[in-house]
Structure 1
Amino acid sequence: MVSWTAVVRVLVTLAVIGYTNAQRGRGKPSIVTESQTFNIRAGDSVTLPCEVNNMGRRSLFWFKGEDRRNRELLLQVKYVQGRPSVPASFVSKYLNTGKYALDGTGLNLPIVEPIDAGEYTCSVSWVRQSIKHTLNVYEDDYTDGDTYDDYGYMYNSEDETNPWSKEDEEEEEVESEDDTDFRGRYDHRWRQEDFGIDTFPESREVVVSEGSNVTLTCRVRGYQNDPIWLHLGNQVAEGSVLQLAQVHRSQAGEYMCQVQNQHFQNNSTFQVHILYLEVNAEVSTVEAASFGPAELACVISGSHPVQVEWFHNGEFVQPDNVTLRLHSEGQRFLLQIAEVNEQNVGRYECRAYSDSGRSMAQMDLVPLPSGMMSFDFKSIPSQVPGKLTIQFSLEFDSVDMIQSVEIYYTKAESEHGWERSTLGQDNVFKITERSYRAEQMIDLDPDSEYYIQAKPFTVTGRSGPYEAPRTFHTPVEEVIVSEAPQIHYAEYDYQPQQKEEKSTPNWLKKTLIITSRLPILYRVFGNRLAP
């Protein structure tokens, strides 16, 4: 009786043998095509073969050029789901232009041009295998002895002499200028339709991304003179092939291939469309008041439609249409922020994507301290005769810490201009998470109208905006300094009311008044007398 253990051993052995044979059958990639030399007439098509066995997941590369260090990479080919495929970067750069095509793993040139002559290398990655094809291109299709007449037409000098020389024509014109038979014999030599023009691409329209290379071909059959190329009316090249390397958007437009002699002119027009995408920051540094709104804008030009995304300090910005909102106005794409705070200041990126590529612009959102959120003042005793000491209290909002405040003040209708008082860190206090208070005492004239402005500065050196001056009026009474200073109350301060009694002596009444005001005197002069 056969045991289950023996059956399992047999099955495992067969599986191992099958896997080993499969691995041996797969093997390493190998190029089975041999190097060849191709002699091709300009205008014809050719496929340079490169057949590979056991390709697997490896890539095949096509190069042009003899020098290994300076050769040009044309295509990368790899198998996807059993079929040869080309990555998108090579599709947009080479295949979409019509210059090259993929024939299996072979390199196809739909229309061979003289500039295509050279050495082509097919190489398989990781196995150090490659073959080289040599492509020779013949620009003219004629045999030895062919030459051209005075009008650019080709004839064979071995078969007959040139029957259409200018000397013969001049002699016959002298004999009979009205000979219609003679004129009919020569008319075909300058008829425009006799000169065929072969173009590449045949559609005479090219769409490429900015930075790509463009090749336009214009061959005139049976005519020896090279055509000229015109762009926007200006000659840019001469010859049957026009090459534009790393095109810029300014090179887009109409290109005309023109051929002419003294008897006729013919031309063919090409359209070159250059796709590009450019993103610029409308303002590279956006300064906005702390805890106020802000708007960042980037201007996008080039190919549309376009997809726009915003990033803050490298992280994707998800709009919620409340605190963050996206908006567009033509070519302007906006990111609107409802409130500038510590969480949303910093570096922003506007990234744009389209069929022609991608681009981005950067901008910084910088918070500024706000203007005066509140303004208050009161008068206290002054040591300067005829003056009032006014104590100012100013409040500001700021994301960054406020380091100093500059106060500008002037008397109305004064000819002396503005005076400045600077408050340092000792006079600036943080009272909430977002607010700062600055306090300062200044001696001013009583019963006078003044204008005041204030400008805060943060630790980063940025300042708040200048606002319209505020107006205030000092109290009427002046404080006279004496051995027992009198306390002056502004008209809006609290002033205790004392009820007089006729029976109270004057000395007792004054004593009670001074005694009631001792706490106030201590509060006013206590800070000044403290060491």
Structure 2
Amino acid sequence: MKNIVFWRQLTLISFFGFDCSLSYWPDEPINSIKTRRAIFTSHTQVFKVRIGGEVTFPCAVANLGKDVITWSTGDRLLTAGPVKVYNEERLIHNHNGSEITLRDVQPRDTGQFSCQVNNIKEPMVLKHTLDVLIPPRVVARNPEISVSVFENAELECSGHGNPQPHIRWRRKDGAPLSLSYGEVEGNRLYLQRVGIEASGDYQCIAENGVERMDGKPALETVKLTVNFPPEIDLETQQYYPKIRQEKLEMTCHVKGEPSPDVNWRRGKRVLSGHDQGKYKMSTNTYTGLHTLSLFQVTEEDLGNYTCHAANRLGWSEQTITVSGKPLRPLLLPGHLENRRSYKLRWMIESAFPIRGHNIYYKLVRPGEDRLECSEDDKDGTDRCIMLRMDGRTGERIEFNIKKEMEAVLRDLRPESNYILQVQTINDFGVSEWSEVHKFITIPEPVSALAPWSPFYSSSCIPVPLHIPLYPVLLLLFVSPSLS
């Protein structure tokens, strides 16, 4: 009878489809039969953890019974049940291995961490993946690049981190990268036929979405140097010192790469600061400004001085003239004295005595501003006139002159347009022409009316008299009959 009851209950259990291992003893009650198979309640996961961070791997198991959980990574056994097998201070295991925690995660920890339930039958394995996120880092292949002007240049950086960073380029000074310079993203930046303006610092920036601890971007600077022969710019090519002037400074701006050697020359002689205190040379290495100081200027110091620069790619020079000629005259406001004359005023400045002045004026058509005489002007008229004015002032010889001059232009045409220029002369030559000046003469006055005219006015302006006109008209009509 007992066997019959057992088979009924066994049939009932099979009917409901339980998948379990049963142990039966004929004398044991059926309600003592238990399930022995373990089941994972945790799932496989991928953990993305920033370097230095912390991660916990779960391994929850139902119906574990007396089975043991072990953890391993690669070929290394980490834990077995409550026992920590691998002596790693960063590793902590809890609840008999149902989870482990790894602190201060490092790139070498990247990989799989396996949880295994070791039962009598086939062991069960749950695998987690650890991906260690590493902030970007960038390294320049060559932090300094040097090429000659019009050559091609290639700048290269490599990015490191996880995920693999992408690299973009920019100029440190913020100037845009020209399209002719090629790509602005990628490990390499190609610059084609570089000019002088391409010199400077370029930055390669690596980005992968992982923020750095300092919060700053990962970048590296590559210095590009474009070599070129010297170039010289002058602020002015003419200097007009005064006699016995304490100091005269002449300057030239020099550019070149490599940095040029610069010297000053007078004729074929290279000047030196040891020339009895006459000269002093100074250089501003930041701006490339070179200065020659000349002390206690005398007439013997007049002449040409040369700024000479040279490097391994070539040389250049520019000549500066220390002149004794007068400075360019400065025209001052003049005025018309009458309809046929104009008072001209100008300022002169000369280190040496003035010998004369050239005044060049011309009658022009409205809108015309050409002052040079042409064949059409040589017709015996006053269309193009050059006046020579003596500048000597008696027996006294004047140096370092700065004063105002004036002259009256006469016999001009009324109601006409004139243009003029002035030039100053001394023993060393003539100055530059002044700027062009324009003026217009006043028209001829209106002819006076007869006193008997009804429109006569003492001011010579025709103004009607305030009298009726009909008596005059009547007189005109009646006078024939009187004869």
TM-score (structure 2 length as normaliser): 0.34
Higher helix proportion: 1
- Greater Rg over alpha carbons, structure: 2
TM-score (structure 1 length as normaliser): 0.32
